[in-house]
Amino acid sequence: MQTALSVPNFGSYGDPAVLVELAREAEEAGWDGFFVWDHVRLFDDFSVPVVDPWVTFGAIANATGRIRLGPMVTPVARRRPYKLARETVTLDHLSGGRLVFGVGLGEPPIVDFEWLGEAAGSRERADLLDEGLEVITRMWSGETLDHHGAAFTARGPGFLPAPVQVPRIPIWVAAAWPNRRPLRRAVRWDGVVPIVVGGDLGSHEPSVDEFAEIMAYVTGQRSGDDRFDVIAMGSRLYYGEVDLDAYAGLGATWWMESIGYPGPSFDDWRDVIRSGPPR
Protein backbone atom coordinates (compact mmCIF):
# COMPACT_ATOMS: atom_id res chain seq x y z
CA MET A 1 0.00 0.00 0.00
CA GLN A 2 1.37 3.40 -0.98
CA THR A 3 1.22 6.45 1.27
CA ALA A 4 0.35 10.07 0.63
CA LEU A 5 -0.44 13.40 2.25
CA SER A 6 -3.54 15.55 1.81
CA VAL A 7 -2.63 19.16 2.52
CA PRO A 8 -4.85 22.30 2.70
CA ASN A 9 -4.20 25.21 0.36
CA PHE A 10 -4.96 27.91 2.92
CA GLY A 11 -3.97 29.22 6.34
CA SER A 12 -0.41 28.19 7.24
CA TYR A 13 -0.31 26.37 3.88
CA GLY A 14 -1.56 29.37 1.89
CA ASP A 15 1.92 30.11 0.54
CA PRO A 16 3.20 28.33 -2.58
CA ALA A 17 6.78 28.30 -1.30
CA VAL A 18 5.64 26.46 1.85
CA LEU A 19 3.79 23.81 -0.16
CA VAL A 20 6.79 23.28 -2.46
CA GLU A 21 9.10 22.83 0.52
CA LEU A 22 6.68 20.41 2.21
CA ALA A 23 6.42 18.36 -0.99
CA ARG A 24 10.20 18.18 -1.22
CA GLU A 25 10.44 17.09 2.43
CA ALA A 26 7.68 14.51 1.90
CA GLU A 27 9.55 12.94 -1.00
CA GLU A 28 12.78 12.83 0.99
CA ALA A 29 10.94 11.20 3.93
CA GLY A 30 9.58 8.39 1.76
CA TRP A 31 5.97 9.42 1.06
CA ASP A 32 4.58 8.36 -2.32
CA GLY A 33 2.07 11.17 -2.94
CA PHE A 34 1.52 14.84 -2.12
CA PHE A 35 -2.00 16.12 -2.77
CA VAL A 36 -3.34 19.64 -2.22
CA TRP A 37 -6.89 20.82 -1.59
CA ASP A 38 -8.56 23.00 -4.22
CA HIS A 39 -10.58 25.80 -2.59
CA VAL A 40 -10.84 29.39 -3.78
CA ARG A 41 -11.32 30.69 -0.23
CA LEU A 42 -11.61 29.36 3.28
CA PHE A 43 -15.27 28.79 4.04
CA ASP A 44 -16.55 32.06 5.60
CA ASP A 45 -13.23 33.47 6.86
CA PHE A 46 -11.99 35.65 4.01
CA SER A 47 -9.01 36.94 6.01
CA VAL A 48 -7.16 33.62 5.67
CA PRO A 49 -4.60 33.41 2.81
CA VAL A 50 -5.43 30.93 0.04
CA VAL A 51 -3.05 29.73 -2.68
CA ASP A 52 -3.96 28.36 -6.09
CA PRO A 53 -2.94 24.67 -6.13
CA TRP A 54 -2.63 24.37 -9.90
CA VAL A 55 0.03 27.05 -10.28
CA THR A 56 1.81 25.56 -7.25
CA PHE A 57 1.84 22.07 -8.79
CA GLY A 58 4.13 23.30 -11.54
CA ALA A 59 6.71 24.35 -8.96
CA ILE A 60 6.23 21.10 -7.01
CA ALA A 61 6.77 19.07 -10.19
CA ASN A 62 10.09 20.84 -10.77
CA ALA A 63 11.19 20.47 -7.15
CA THR A 64 10.51 16.71 -6.92
CA GLY A 65 11.30 13.69 -9.04
CA ARG A 66 9.37 10.69 -7.72
CA ILE A 67 6.35 11.62 -5.64
CA ARG A 68 2.83 11.60 -7.09
CA LEU A 69 0.98 14.93 -7.03
CA GLY A 70 -2.43 16.35 -7.79
CA PRO A 71 -5.55 18.08 -6.48
CA MET A 72 -7.61 16.54 -3.72
CA VAL A 73 -10.03 17.41 -5.14
CA THR A 74 -10.79 19.77 -8.03
CA PRO A 75 -14.47 20.68 -8.45
CA VAL A 76 -14.90 20.22 -12.19
CA ALA A 77 -18.24 22.05 -12.02
CA ARG A 78 -16.54 25.42 -11.63
CA ARG A 79 -13.89 24.88 -14.29
CA ARG A 80 -13.94 24.92 -18.09
CA PRO A 81 -13.12 21.38 -19.26
CA TYR A 82 -10.90 22.50 -22.15
CA LYS A 83 -8.82 24.58 -19.72
CA LEU A 84 -8.54 21.64 -17.32
CA ALA A 85 -7.57 19.35 -20.20
CA ARG A 86 -4.69 21.65 -21.14
CA GLU A 87 -3.58 22.15 -17.52
CA THR A 88 -3.61 18.46 -16.66
CA VAL A 89 -1.71 17.38 -19.77
CA THR A 90 0.84 20.15 -19.30
CA LEU A 91 1.39 19.15 -15.67
CA ASP A 92 1.57 15.47 -16.61
CA HIS A 93 4.41 16.27 -19.02
CA LEU A 94 6.12 18.64 -16.61
CA SER A 95 6.10 16.00 -13.86
CA GLY A 96 7.14 13.12 -16.09
CA GLY A 97 3.81 11.33 -15.74
CA ARG A 98 3.23 11.75 -12.00
CA LEU A 99 -0.12 13.55 -11.99
CA VAL A 100 -3.23 12.09 -10.39
CA PHE A 101 -6.41 14.00 -11.24
CA GLY A 102 -8.59 14.06 -8.12
CA VAL A 103 -12.12 15.30 -8.82
CA GLY A 104 -15.39 15.80 -6.99
CA LEU A 105 -18.43 18.01 -6.56
CA GLY A 106 -16.60 20.46 -4.31
CA GLU A 107 -17.51 21.81 -0.89
CA PRO A 108 -18.85 23.97 0.62
CA PRO A 109 -21.46 24.75 -2.05
CA ILE A 110 -22.47 28.16 -0.66
CA VAL A 111 -19.05 29.77 -0.14
CA ASP A 112 -17.10 28.16 -2.99
CA PHE A 113 -19.96 28.20 -5.51
CA GLU A 114 -23.16 30.13 -4.81
CA TRP A 115 -21.44 33.26 -3.51
CA LEU A 116 -19.25 33.27 -6.62
CA GLY A 117 -22.12 32.90 -9.06
CA GLU A 118 -21.46 29.22 -9.78
CA ALA A 119 -23.89 26.30 -9.82
CA ALA A 120 -24.40 25.23 -6.20
CA GLY A 121 -27.00 22.43 -6.30
CA SER A 122 -25.67 18.91 -5.73
CA ARG A 123 -27.36 17.42 -8.79
CA GLU A 124 -26.28 20.31 -11.03
CA ARG A 125 -22.67 20.04 -9.87
CA ALA A 126 -22.75 16.27 -10.33
CA ASP A 127 -24.05 16.59 -13.90
CA LEU A 128 -21.33 19.15 -14.70
CA LEU A 129 -18.72 16.82 -13.23
CA ASP A 130 -19.87 13.88 -15.35
CA GLU A 131 -20.08 15.85 -18.58
CA GLY A 132 -16.83 17.67 -17.82
CA LEU A 133 -14.94 14.39 -17.41
CA GLU A 134 -16.39 13.12 -20.67
CA VAL A 135 -15.07 16.18 -22.50
CA ILE A 136 -11.67 16.19 -20.74
CA THR A 137 -10.91 12.53 -21.44
CA ARG A 138 -11.94 12.92 -25.08
CA MET A 139 -9.52 15.85 -25.34
CA TRP A 140 -6.77 13.78 -23.72
CA SER A 141 -7.27 11.08 -26.37
CA GLY A 142 -6.31 13.43 -29.22
CA GLU A 143 -9.36 12.25 -31.19
CA THR A 144 -11.62 14.57 -33.16
CA LEU A 145 -14.04 16.43 -30.90
CA ASP A 146 -17.77 16.28 -31.55
CA HIS A 147 -19.44 16.85 -28.18
CA HIS A 148 -22.81 18.56 -27.90
CA GLY A 149 -23.97 18.20 -24.32
CA ALA A 150 -26.28 19.95 -21.89
CA ALA A 151 -23.52 22.27 -20.64
CA PHE A 152 -20.60 22.05 -23.07
CA THR A 153 -19.97 22.03 -26.81
CA ALA A 154 -16.60 20.98 -28.17
CA ARG A 155 -15.90 20.22 -31.81
CA GLY A 156 -12.98 20.25 -34.16
CA PRO A 157 -9.54 18.61 -34.34
CA GLY A 158 -8.22 16.76 -31.33
CA PHE A 159 -5.94 18.22 -28.68
CA LEU A 160 -2.20 17.45 -28.68
CA PRO A 161 0.00 16.44 -27.01
CA ALA A 162 -1.54 13.43 -25.34
CA PRO A 163 -0.72 12.76 -21.68
CA VAL A 164 2.49 10.95 -20.79
CA GLN A 165 0.51 8.33 -18.88
CA VAL A 166 -1.22 5.55 -20.79
CA PRO A 167 -4.09 4.89 -21.17
CA ARG A 168 -4.76 8.22 -19.41
CA ILE A 169 -4.00 10.35 -16.38
CA PRO A 170 -5.55 8.48 -13.43
CA ILE A 171 -8.85 9.99 -12.27
CA TRP A 172 -9.75 9.55 -8.60
CA VAL A 173 -13.28 10.51 -7.63
CA ALA A 174 -14.33 11.72 -4.18
CA ALA A 175 -17.39 9.92 -2.83
CA ALA A 176 -19.50 10.58 0.26
CA TRP A 177 -20.71 7.34 1.86
CA PRO A 178 -23.46 6.17 2.34
CA ASN A 179 -24.51 7.91 -0.91
CA ARG A 180 -24.28 5.35 -3.68
CA ARG A 181 -24.25 7.53 -6.81
CA PRO A 182 -20.75 8.98 -6.17
CA LEU A 183 -19.36 5.45 -5.75
CA ARG A 184 -21.02 4.33 -8.97
CA ARG A 185 -19.40 7.32 -10.66
CA ALA A 186 -16.00 6.47 -9.20
CA VAL A 187 -15.95 2.87 -10.42
CA ARG A 188 -16.21 4.14 -14.01
CA TRP A 189 -12.81 5.78 -13.57
CA ASP A 190 -9.55 4.86 -11.84
CA GLY A 191 -10.00 5.29 -8.11
CA VAL A 192 -12.17 6.46 -5.24
CA VAL A 193 -11.48 8.70 -2.27
CA PRO A 194 -14.30 7.98 0.19
CA ILE A 195 -15.43 9.97 3.19
CA VAL A 196 -18.40 9.31 5.46
CA VAL A 197 -21.16 11.90 5.87
CA GLY A 198 -23.34 12.19 8.96
CA GLY A 199 -22.69 12.03 12.68
CA ASP A 200 -21.51 14.69 15.10
CA LEU A 201 -18.66 15.88 12.86
CA GLY A 202 -20.73 16.22 9.69
CA SER A 203 -18.17 14.18 7.75
CA HIS A 204 -15.13 12.10 8.67
CA GLU A 205 -12.62 9.63 7.31
CA PRO A 206 -13.92 6.03 7.22
CA SER A 207 -13.21 3.77 10.15
CA VAL A 208 -12.09 0.22 9.37
CA ASP A 209 -15.69 -1.03 9.69
CA GLU A 210 -17.03 1.76 7.47
CA PHE A 211 -14.27 1.14 4.97
CA ALA A 212 -15.28 -2.53 4.82
CA GLU A 213 -18.85 -1.50 3.90
CA ILE A 214 -17.57 0.85 1.21
CA MET A 215 -15.28 -1.80 -0.26
CA ALA A 216 -18.11 -4.33 -0.37
CA TYR A 217 -20.21 -1.92 -2.39
CA VAL A 218 -17.32 -0.93 -4.70
CA THR A 219 -16.46 -4.56 -5.35
CA GLY A 220 -20.07 -5.32 -6.24
CA GLN A 221 -20.12 -2.47 -8.77
CA ARG A 222 -16.88 -3.30 -10.57
CA SER A 223 -16.23 -5.78 -13.34
CA GLY A 224 -12.87 -6.73 -14.76
CA ASP A 225 -9.48 -6.62 -13.10
CA ASP A 226 -8.06 -3.30 -14.30
CA ARG A 227 -6.18 -1.41 -11.62
CA PHE A 228 -8.50 0.57 -9.39
CA ASP A 229 -7.15 2.62 -6.49
CA VAL A 230 -9.02 2.89 -3.21
CA ILE A 231 -7.74 5.49 -0.81
CA ALA A 232 -8.09 5.08 2.95
CA MET A 233 -7.73 8.34 4.86
CA GLY A 234 -7.00 9.29 8.44
CA SER A 235 -4.80 11.33 10.72
CA ARG A 236 -2.35 10.14 13.34
CA LEU A 237 -2.40 13.49 15.15
CA TYR A 238 -6.18 13.35 15.49
CA TYR A 239 -6.77 9.62 15.99
CA GLY A 240 -3.42 8.10 16.96
CA GLU A 241 -1.69 5.25 15.18
CA VAL A 242 -3.58 3.48 12.40
CA ASP A 243 -3.85 -0.19 11.50
CA LEU A 244 -2.62 -0.07 7.93
CA ASP A 245 -2.78 -3.83 7.62
CA ALA A 246 -6.53 -3.74 8.29
CA TYR A 247 -7.15 -1.25 5.49
CA ALA A 248 -4.77 -3.03 3.12
CA GLY A 249 -6.46 -6.33 3.86
CA LEU A 250 -9.79 -4.82 2.81
CA GLY A 251 -8.36 -3.65 -0.51
CA ALA A 252 -6.97 -0.16 0.13
CA THR A 253 -4.16 0.67 -2.30
CA TRP A 254 -3.22 3.99 -0.68
CA TRP A 255 -3.10 5.38 2.84
CA MET A 256 -3.59 9.16 2.82
CA GLU A 257 -2.61 11.15 5.89
CA SER A 258 -5.14 13.97 6.14
CA ILE A 259 -3.71 17.23 7.42
CA GLY A 260 -6.76 18.93 8.87
CA TYR A 261 -7.51 22.58 9.49
CA PRO A 262 -7.76 23.95 12.11
CA GLY A 263 -6.20 21.58 14.58
CA PRO A 264 -2.67 20.71 15.64
CA SER A 265 -0.03 23.30 14.85
CA PHE A 266 1.81 23.64 11.57
CA ASP A 267 5.02 22.50 13.29
CA ASP A 268 3.30 19.35 14.58
CA TRP A 269 2.07 18.49 11.08
CA ARG A 270 5.50 19.18 9.64
CA ASP A 271 6.99 16.70 12.10
CA VAL A 272 4.49 14.10 10.83
CA ILE A 273 5.60 14.76 7.24
CA ARG A 274 9.30 14.61 8.10
CA SER A 275 8.91 11.43 10.16
CA GLY A 276 7.73 9.61 7.06
CA PRO A 277 4.75 7.37 6.41
CA PRO A 278 3.44 4.92 9.01
CA ARG A 279 4.79 1.43 8.61
pLDDT 10s per residue in the chain (279 long)?
999 999 999 999 999 999 999 999 999 999 999 999 999 876 666 788 999 999 999 999 999 999 999 999 999 999 999 999 999 999 999 999 999 999 999 888 888 888 888 888 999 999 999 999 999 999 999 999 999 999 999 999 889 999 999 999 999 999 999 999 999 999 999 999 999 987 655 678 899 999 999 999 999 999 877 899 999 999 888 877 888 999 999 999 999 999 877 778 999 999 999 999 987
Which domains does the chain show, CATH number per domain? 2-173+230-275 (3.20.20.30)
Produce one character per residue of 129-168: b if its CB has 16 or more CB atoms within 10 Å, e if not: bbbbbebbbbbbeeeebeeeeeebebeeeebeebbebeeb
Distance, in Å, from the CA atom of 181 to the CA atom of 197, rounded to the nearest integer, reads: 14
Q: Coil, strand or helix: which one is 263?
A: coil
* Pick from 111, 136, 109, 134: nearest CA to 124: 109
- Burial class of residue 199 in the structure, from the number of CB atoms within 10 Å of its CB (0-12 exposed, 13-18 middle, 19+ buried): exposed
Decide: 195 and 177 in contact? Cβ < 8 Å.
yes
How many CA within 13 A on the CB side of residue 72?
Answer: 27
Name which of 82, 103, 211, 85 is nearest 149 in CA terms: 82
Q: Does residue 204 sit in helix, strand or coil? A: strand
